[in-house]
Structure 1
């Protein structure tokens, strides 16, 4: 974090990154003194409502964050910033998005939690677009021109007012992470009945240490002491009510309950409906501390691909076991008409030996199994996300190229641009079983 005082004193001259959060109501023109070097500008958490036309003079500006301000329109000057590729205006009051506000090199656009009811057709001309985050607006439809954004990989349109599912999305060759819960069309697709779980009275819970906190809520260690029965240690997720980057916490809760039980999913033990403040909560399986996050989320530069810990290496047998477990969990979800929507390494916990747990249903969406064509297309959309994960894990294996040849071929097939030609999760599971069997056969003499 920097200060306005530092900026005005000239001590930030030559800076490439600048972050100011000082309750600003007007754009500090001293920022323009950095126009020759500034690449990343973060003005999140102020009270700004306008940007100066001179911002276009910042010819190296690649990334601009102006979330949690008071903008009512996406500033048109953005479209004149020659290097700008990432734009974040989450949680403002934006109602208008002008075609002139769209930078030519746009890769990543965040307009979550605003009041936008229409997007310009010109958005389809942003052919470098990879990531588009629109959850929590008032959209009734998407511009059909988005079909020209052939590089689009992640799309968040949850918690809008979209009347009909835009089926042309299913033909996008690179789309892998999609969230659409909380729209009128999805209302009929939500599970009519959640899987049976216990009702956990709030008064029977003892809240413990905070285990973690995310966009949709906080997770605490807790002990459930039922009136009849033994105490149960669990993880208690207390949901927030606000819109997240993926959608609404209520939709996450529904999807988690619909997902049921699977060995590679973080299990749901029960729901809490009587929190004193009315907060919805879920009791979940307490995960062993030996299980660690596999990856970190994508960076500003990687955009859609996870960041793995430096030096992380996996044996081929461990990586194979992990992806087999993930494929099994994904197949289980799709048999229930649930798309995870965020099938990523950063949502996996692992022990380094092949055990893995998939969590975080914040981007999950449900779909009707009765519509076989739609169901198959949505499953194969998520298969591409699996293909990216398989590719990333293979890169962490110091195995011989010949041992991984069939797996690299599978990863490529999962990412085929022709969506209908990708394998199903059932087929993927079968092929991974064959690969595991072959690996064990080849190495058995060595182990003997």
Structure 2
């Protein structure tokens, strides 16, 4: 066993004191540190306390058997090298151990040269692990210096997330993130505009296998944002040459998304009343008809609105339009949509509403308008309402015509009332 010592540590777990000490003595001449244990439970404890590079163990141990101890250590470190000793041929016991992916077998009493060969084979695996770990640390350090959020993925598993990403997710480091059992997928709210339901690694597959080769857009929950607003990121990936390892980078585009949403909102909104405009409403109405869910429609206008403009001026008329829009919004559900159809005519699209509900909505709005004091108008302002429930198979034009006719009847029969279509 003479020669330069290997810079590794070995745990020797054997029941027989004589053979245990003999092997430990041989190993101390070849490696930097040796730990010993007399049974499987003591061996497991020594492994956790001393973190050896290699474990040398007998198959048969008291308290906790050799295969059981090996399996428990494998559960904590699947790459731990094992040298397994046996003193008699037992096919069943050897088969059980073989299934645990053992690195070397040695028959007792241990031959010094064969013991050294087994240690050398394990040492090569240990040194390779150290080189890989060192390379990983260098790569992680580079990622931590990266100006944006980034992570490494291998075979569907996130193996590292840099400091910026860990901090965004609410953790001081990736180790804390992983120790807490957290997953990146748990923070994904939307992927490419759709609610995310892809499970732990579905987002990786969706991005990597995207047939359109787009930069993915991901909405990530942000626990550090007091407003509760998620961050929006453009996600790209690159594969390391000759490896399955992939680097995902996350570029914050939240401000761009806010600007895009603002522009989209402006394009779909009437500038005076902030209600949905006619073009956007027709697209929404078409979608509701295709989906096939029950819904109803309210159409109303302001009675004698022309006289308000003529008597008090167009500025007052504009104020009335703004105030009635706000009044309606305060008296409908968030899921209901207020639309400016044109001039003083408005619509309210009411999803999941039958005629009974929409009648109550229209009557509540009619009363609210009549009771409200509009700026610059010293007299009572009223509105007339037509209401209809969508009939399956009805075209968009037929549906709108029915509600328009209902409103016309409300005006023709005295105004300030609700008529069904």
- Alignment TM-score > 0.5, same fold: no
Question: Which structure has the highest helix share of the two?
Answer: 2
Q: What interval of TM-score do these two structures reach, taking the shorter chain for normalisation?
A: under 0.3
Question: Which structure has the highest strand share of the two?
Answer: 2
TM-score with structure 2 setting the length: 0.22
TM-score with structure 1 setting the length: 0.21
Higher relative contact order (CA 8 A, sep 6+): 1
